[in-house]
Chains A and B, each alone.
Chain A
Amino acid sequence: MMSKRLNLFVRVFVLALLMAGFSLFFAIPGNSLWLVASVAIAMAVALVAIVAASEKVTSMKTGLPLEDELSRKATWKAGYYAFLTGLWLAIGIMAADFFMVEAFNLQQLEFRYAFEAMIVVPSLTFVALAVWFKKKGNLD
């Protein structure tokens, strides 16, 4: 059974790993970047799965439900904000790409970078907000 402190540590570690992977994606030049980011994201997904499984085991042992009305509301609200984040990010990327090419004559943003950002940023937003809303309580 995973203690609460360890659980929180793993969540923070996963977030840090995702952010590091995302940063590396832009920081390191060359084709290896895609591989580094992919490995980091795969590791983060595996860790999230481990945490979810441990929560499930804890829930089965204590007899308490894994989710209730508060956690469902928190998840839906986090999903709503993650969706809005993705939407605004898409608009931002399109605008940035347009100005980079048209105004500053810079190289056009590669599709894979934009795609990666569109997956990672809303996912991070969702995970962070879901945890925060569950801790905060009042969702009105």
Chain B
Amino acid sequence: MFVLRTRIRELREKFGLTQEGLAKKVGVRRETIVLIEKGDYNCSILLAHALAKELKTTIDRLFIWED
């Protein structure tokens, strides 16, 4: 079974962004960022792209599928 892990928190903290700050930049609610960070919500490709762009990385480096 695959488990989704994200590097959002790590990169967000690296850029000194809060969850609210990142949420504002990508145009979602703060709760959505919290759930994505925890791996509890599989976001759309569009949102994944926006997150990767804000965190200056690529989607495949931001979201990691672990077996």
Bound-state CA distance A64–B41 (Å) is: 19
Q: Does residue B29 face the partner (Cβ distance < 8 Å to A)? A: yes
B7 to chain A, nearest CB (A): 18
A138 to chain B, nearest CB (A): 6
A136 contacts across to B, CB distance below 8 A = 40
- Per a CB cutoff under 8 Å, which of A71, A139, A140 touches B29? A71
**Residue pair B38, A137 in contact (C-beta under 8 Å):** yes
Q: Does residue A105 face the partner (Cβ distance < 8 Å to B)? A: no
A138 contacts across to B, CB distance below 8 A = 40-42
**Residue pair A70, B28 in contact (C-beta under 8 Å):** yes
**Residue pair A64, B29 in contact (C-beta under 8 Å):** yes
**Residue pair B38, A65 in contact (C-beta under 8 Å):** no
Q: Does residue A62 face the partner (Cβ distance < 8 Å to B)? A: yes
**Residue pair A62, B40 in contact (C-beta under 8 Å):** no
Q: Which of B21-35 contact A (CB under 8 A)?
A: 23-24, 27-32, 35
Q: Which of B9-57 contact A (CB under 8 A)?
A: 20, 23-24, 27-32, 35, 38, 40-44, 47
B48 to chain A, nearest CB (A): 11
Q: Does residue A134 face the partner (Cβ distance < 8 Å to B)? A: yes
From A68, which residue of chain B is reached at the shortest CB distance? B28
The answer to whether A69 and B47 touch (CB under 8 A), given A63-B24, A140-B42, is yes
From B28, which residue of chain A is reached at the shortest CB distance? A68
B47 to chain A, nearest CB (A): 6
A86 to chain B, nearest CB (A): 28
Given contacts A65-B28, A69-B43, A70-B29, 4 further A-B contacts (CB under 8 A): A62-B20, A69-B32, A138-B41, A140-B42
- Interface on A for B, CB 8 Å cutoff? 62-71, 134-140
Nearest 10 pairs of A and B residues by beta carbon: A137-B40, A137-B35, A137-B41, A68-B28, A70-B32, A68-B29, A68-B32, A63-B24, A69-B44, A138-B40
